């Protein structure tokens, strides 16, 4: 299997990529939940432990909203949205991936983050954040492993879409429609 080539649907190569992507997503999900439990058990709420002075700390905070605290208090709605996104992404996985291995990995990476934060919303009623990046007084909102998975997965998927050539038959269909 060559990662430059398209994967045929229902092929052994597709099964192999799906297994790798699922294993990766599972590792990310476990890492996300484990780090959150470790933070809860070993830090006081609001406590901050500098790791790289002036740049990075572990800071125990929670978030009842989505990214950067948006939609604060809409935890169940966010859970429903996350569940819907997960179901739709799995349902349309082949279409979204278009036969490219990195897209399978990217989408399952995103889903691991969505599921990780959804578990928090159900189990804790809020999402645990603890990775705190800043430059002196300028802080980026704290985040967690699930947030990283979502961002990296979206970036990887976007990069794949931008870099991969559009198939010739798709270009011809587009030209015919004009």
Q: For this structure, is 120 an active site residue?
A: no
In whole angstroms, what is the distance from residue 5 CA to residue 160 CA? 13
Residue 61 lies in a domain: yes
Could you read off the pLDDT of 116-149 as tens digits, one per residue? Answer: 999 998 899 889 999 999 998 888 889 999 999 9
State the pTM of this model.
Answer: 0.84
Q: Which H or E run contains 52? A: strand 48-52
pLDDT at 178 over 60: no
Domain span holding position 73 = 12-163
pLDDT top residue among 92 and 150: 150
**How many domains does the chain contain in total?**
1
Beta strands 48-52 and 127-135: pairing type? Answer: unpaired
Q: Is 99 a member of any domain?
A: yes
Q: Does residue 5 register a pLDDT over 80?
A: no
Active site residue 5: no
Active-site position among 32, 120, 132, 147 = 147
Q: Which of 120, 129, 132, 169 is catalytic?
A: 129
């Amino acid at each position: 299997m060559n990662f430059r080539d398209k994967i045929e649907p229902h092929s052994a190569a597709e099964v192999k990529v799906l297994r790798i992507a699922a294993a990766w997503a599972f590792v990310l999900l476990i890492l996300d939940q484990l780090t959150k439990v470790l933070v809860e058990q070993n830090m006081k709420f609001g406590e901050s432990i500098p790791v790289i002075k002036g740049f990075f700390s572990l800071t125990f905070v929670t978030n009842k909203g989505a990214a950067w605290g948006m939609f604060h208090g809409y935890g169940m709605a966010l859970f429903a949205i996350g569940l819907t996104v997960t179901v739709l992404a799995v349902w349309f996985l082949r279409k979204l991936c278009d036969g490219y291995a990195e897209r399978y990995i990217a989408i399952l990476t995103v889903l691991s983050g969505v599921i990780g934060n959804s578990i928090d919303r159900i189990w804790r009623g809020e999402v645990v954040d603890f990775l705190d990046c800043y430059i002196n007084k300028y802080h980026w909102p704290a985040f967690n492993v699930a947030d990283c998975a979502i961002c990296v997965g979206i970036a990887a998927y976007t990069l794949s879409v931008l870099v991969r050539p559009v198939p010739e038959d798709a270009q011809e269909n587009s030209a015919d429609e004009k």
